[in-house]
Amino acid sequence: MSSDKNILVKLNEAGLFINDKWLVKGVSLQVEKGKIVTLIGPNGSGKSTTAKIALGIYKKIDGSVEKYTNKVGYVPQKISIDWTLPLRVNDFMILTENLNIEKIDEALSLTGVIHLKDKNLGDLSGGEFQRVLLARAISKKPELLVLDEPVQGVDFTGEIALYELIKKISDELNCGILLISHDLHTVMSATDHVVCLNGHVCCSGSPIDVAKNNEYKALFGEQASQILSRYEHTHDHIHTDEGEVKKN
Amino acid sequence: MFDDFFIRALVAGIGVALVTGPLGCFVIWRRLSYFGDTLAHSALLGVTLAFTMEFNIALSVFIISSLIALILIQLQKRTNLPGDALLGLLAHSSLAVGLVVIGFLTFIRFDIMGLLFGDILAVSVDDLLIIWIGGALILLTLKFIWKSLFASTVNYELAEAEGLNPDRAKAIFTILMAAIIAISIKMVGLLLITGMLIIPAAMARNLSTSPQSMVIYSIIGGLLSVIIGLFTSLEFNTSSGPSIITAALLLFILSLFKIKQSIKLKN
């Protein structure tokens, strides 16, 4: 197949079994150059776990993951930084790769936090820190970007601007993006492929397919939180209390 | 030039301070103070081994400390005991076993005080070679793993995701810890080595705003402690290892004034 060259990361029936339960099971997906793949699903459905599997953070997984690039930028959902470290934004930008000043400034300007360059990382607000995290991930011009709720805590106007930026980065750098987002508006407008998770892949396809199949328009009338928690689609299976999946 | 015992002591101390400066920063950042202490306690066993087998002291301390680090990792995996309990267990039991073994070695006269608190004034030219060559190797290795060690200290998952191999860096760093203890045991002794690692780095934390500046201040702090400590020990005839650590403590206390000022400025 001609598209094989464009594959950056590919999960084959990947799953993770920890402490006697499956965090996620049987996930197959692939991220290609210039494409945005979005993971959606309720809390605890294994979105972050799937992202970490794709990144190779977990070693003992079920199934397999093939990663074809080492130029990776990652924005984790949660990041706990130990403040015993004296760390300025500038030091954080060169954490995993040495960059020249122009590249650092460019990335910080793109996410709108160039004025914080010499500030201590511990003194930033949640939204500011999130913008720095995104700047750091894009500054090294990665081939694969993994963004786990990259705009959490960012103000409303900033959120729209940052999603536009993510789309622009994907086009300009021709990099593949694995995105986890709660904002279905963005998911539907900017993504090439949507994967709906609930411990396993419930459904996947282009946003239009997913939207059509799942009475997407009707869902959009409801409040954002409800859109997410009641992301209704035709199940061919039921979920038991133990997290097992049974065919109807 | 190295004929004079005091010059030799100074050169040895400077060599050790150059290495403990950067390593000490990582000990603080990664919260490994008590881990360093445990390795240092186990060094006594290494020393006794060196005497019984007529082996090089630094080498046998290095081997025993690395071994203890390995045992610790295994115990952490296989037991449900908390990390600090395991560290305490290994630290004190290896110290005790070392002292018991010394009791059997009646044919050798041990300078226990020298082992516990160091005897920098007795370093030989051979010791100097071990300190400077070993120290240079430690620093070179640290420079090599710096990026991935530092990145994984800030955040393990970021480092792993972006291909920096944090597990390898951690393993190498553990070996470097055993190595610095091995080369500096003669100077400050096994009870005070961790002080040499932690106190100048702690002082540096009070003064610095970036990781690089913390490393530089930590080295400067260590060098000043060695110089001030050695001259006071010469002047007042106090034991040299403890004098060096006391000098480091005084520098730390001085650095507290800098924090007070910057907190005032913030308010």
Is B144 inside any structural domain?
yes
At residue A245, does pLDDT exceed 90?
A: no
Q: How many helices and strands in chain A, by DSSP H and E?
A: 9, 11
**Interchain pair A80, B161: CB under 8 A:** no
Q: Which of B29, B151, B210 sits opposite A84 (nearest CB)?
A: B29
Is B212 inside any structural domain?
no
Domain count, chain B: 1
Q: Which of B204, B181, B177 is nearest to B191 (CA)?
A: B181
Q: Are B198 and B206 in contact (CB under 8 A)?
A: no
Q: Which of A29, A57, A59 is nearest to A41 (CA)?
A: A29
B225 to chain A nearest CA, in Å? 23
| Per-residue pLDDT at A212 | 64
Task: Report yes or no: A97 at the B interface, CB cutoff 8 Å.
Answer: yes
Give the three-state DSSP class for B219: helix
Mean pLDDT of chain A: 80
| Per-residue pLDDT at A68 | 87
At residue B214, does pLDDT exceed 50?
A: yes
At residue A231, does pLDDT exceed 80?
A: no
At residue A184, does pLDDT exceed 80?
A: no
| Per-residue pLDDT at B113 | 78
B263 to chain A nearest CA, in Å? 13
Per-residue model confidence as pLDDT tens digits over A189-222: 778 888 888 888 877 888 777 666 554 444 444 4
**Interchain pair B158, A95: CB under 8 A:** yes
The ipTM assigned to this model is: 0.81
Domains of chain A in start order, with CATH, are 2-71+182-247 (3.40.50.300)
**Interchain pair A72, B162: CB under 8 A:** yes
B234 contacts: CB under 8 Å, gap ≥ 6: B6
Per-residue model confidence as pLDDT tens digits over A101-148: 999 999 999 888 999 999 988 888 888 899 999 999 999 889 999 999
| Per-residue pLDDT at A243 | 55
Q: How far apart are CA B248 and CA B218, in angstroms?
A: 10
Task: Give the predicted TM-score (pTM) of the model.
Answer: 0.84
Within 8 A of A76 by CB-CB distance, chain B residues are 155, 157-158, 161
Is B232 inside any structural domain?
no
| For B160, nearest residue in chain A (alpha carbons) | A57
| Per-residue pLDDT at A244 | 61
pLDDT tier at B138 (50, 70, 90 boundaries)?
very high
Mean pLDDT of chain B: 89
| Per-residue pLDDT at B137 | 97
| Per-residue pLDDT at A218 | 43
Question: Distances from the Cα of A136 to the Cαs of A9, A33, A179, B88, B257, in angstroms?
Answer: 21, 20, 16, 40, 35
| For A144, nearest residue in chain B (alpha carbons) | B162
| Per-residue pLDDT at B49 | 85
Domain of B38 in residue numbering reads as: 5-190
Per-residue model confidence as pLDDT tens digits over B1-11: 666 888 999 99
Is B251 inside any structural domain?
no
Within 8 A of B160 by CB-CB distance, chain A residues are 55-57
**Interchain pair B163, A72: CB under 8 A:** yes
**Interchain pair B161, A52: CB under 8 A:** yes
Instruction: Supply the CATH number for residue B158's domain.
Output: 1.10.3470.10
**Interchain pair A56, B214: CB under 8 A:** no
Is B244 inside any structural domain?
no
Is B254 inside any structural domain?
no
| Per-residue pLDDT at A215 | 41
Is B143 inside any structural domain?
yes
Is B77 inside any structural domain?
yes
